[in-house]
Structure 1
Amino acid sequence: MTTRQHTIGDLLRRSAARFPAKTAVIYGNVRQSYADLDLEVNRTANALAARGVAKGDRFALFSHNNHAFVVAYFALARLGAISVPINFMLGPREVAYILEHSGATGMLAEEALLPVAEAAAGPAVRVRGVIGAAEGWESFSTWRGDDAEPQVEIAADDPIQLMYTSGTESRPKGATLSSGSLLAQYVSCVVDGEMSSDDVEVHALPLYHCAQLHCFLTPGIYLGATNLILPGADPASILATIEGERATKLFCPPTVWIALLRHPDFDRRDLSSLRKGYYGASIMPVEVLKEISARLPDVRLFNFYGQTEMAPLATILRPEEQLTRLGSAGRPALNVETRIVDDEDRPVAPGVVGEIVHRSPHAMLGYWNDPDKTAEAFRGGWFHSGDLGVMDADG
């Protein structure tokens, strides 16, 4: 690799060099240091390479949140292979479409999801791994090769991940993300989201989705934070984890924040360690904002808004504006320019409804194998989100 390489696969190695003994990931009974996680990623990457997985190959990840997902994600990035996270709630036909459209030649599936995976995977999916055990699938635990890091040259704009997003259309589109777009997005998250290496983060929302994976988990690894992986967004488990691990940081959509507030354990658990909270996907009801402020007075709350095509962060509503800018998605993030335009792509006046468009290094390379939809989305040098918005009088 070149001396100037800066890709997703490099982030973990650098954090392991800075914080070798620090706990990187906690999942169930697994507590793994940065040095040990880095070593396991190398071994997994080399095992995949021995099975023929190479730079540019598409490889599907079909699983709930777990330690294996994290290892496989970074191992694929080290090889320059293109990871394809798949929603674990999809059925066989929907998964088959993503596998076929992406041209996936490999797949790692959770044992509980194997009935869907087996029904969806065609003959092109020749490398098959399972988190657990199943006949005809190699156990992920056996994917262990040499200790040395694979030497693969990966450019900033080489595709590194396909995130499938359906939007309002029947067929999902593969947003093609590069290390360059993701790293620019991580910088925006870190700076505007006030993230640091001292964070102890709860990751309870699905890692197949760009919000948890790219706004929180990978920036956390980038910084050298401690990452608490939960299999799902169960309120009791989230609250117990905050107390038990003295977590400082939590992302949830408004529905999960409301479930936490309503859970009987909310007042029984010691949540005093929590310092930063984040939400997205929809606007937080004003009464819930006030309740969070009253019951978690030391928590700084942020609203992250964006699209998969923006990797995904576009704008941030900061803590000081939560109650003064009710209903707002905030202001453009550090590396983003945002406008609201009319049907002729002209900026509209404050108070006028228009389409939200962005210009940013966060933006995807395009839609996988779909130049027409890519051209439609990128017009005049801006990404057209399809979302409607209104500009505040002060911008």
Structure 2
Amino acid sequence: AITPELLTEASQRLGCEFSGGYGMTEASGNAVFLDAAAHRLALHGDARPLTSAGFPGPLTRARITPVPADGPDHSPIAGPIAGTVAAAARGAEVRTGEVGQIELAGPQVAAGYWGRPDATADTFGSDGWLRTGDLGRLDDDGRLWVTDRLKDLVISGGENVSAREVELVLATHPAVKAVAVVGSPDARWGEVVTAVVVARDGRTIDHAELQAHVRSSLAPFKVPKRIEMVEALPQNATGKVDKVALRATLGRF
């Protein structure tokens, strides 16, 4: 989701309207849309809708199902994500407002992967729903909120930490230009929350200061135990942070 600060700067520089969306190749592009009116509200002080992905498009349906009991990459899941997940059957939906896996259905959703029946069975349900691998929730109005990638959950000491949640808080620090949060292996905790930070030009950042900044907004177990400073974050061909490359790089610090 775009930040209010970036939206304001972009609006001033470009002088145009903005809209947002959520989707993926398997859904033929965007499936959920946040219209220009929501962005105009944010520019006038009401940024609440801005952090959502918006509403499903015509003929598109979205639902939230429990996180798989074995968790991302078959790691055990502990904590209250999506209620009790161990006994949940595929296709069951969580209660409104609870976080779980986002699933999409509609005429634009692909039938599967060419020549890859195993991957097709894992991703596309027999009922036609696409398991996106993203975490999110639906509100009472049917608006979708994307909270993180399922594989980007950091499981530290049995607690689930959303990397995106920590990134959003760190991004509000005035000395932070860009940030990505991942889990890095740890003998005691299994994983530790690790922040990789790019500082704004000419700024120095004290690690303890960043940790205190996160602690002021989030629970103590979500505070990064490890902070690494870099000149730039690795990106993939679409301009997104390449967290696979980032995790590989962490082992060389």
Q: Which has the higher contact order (CA 8 A, sep 6+)?
A: 1
Q: TM-score range by the shorter chain?
A: 0.3 to 0.5
More helix by share: 1
Q: State the TM-score, normalized to the length of structure 1.
A: 0.27
Q: State the TM-score, normalized to the length of structure 2.
A: 0.41
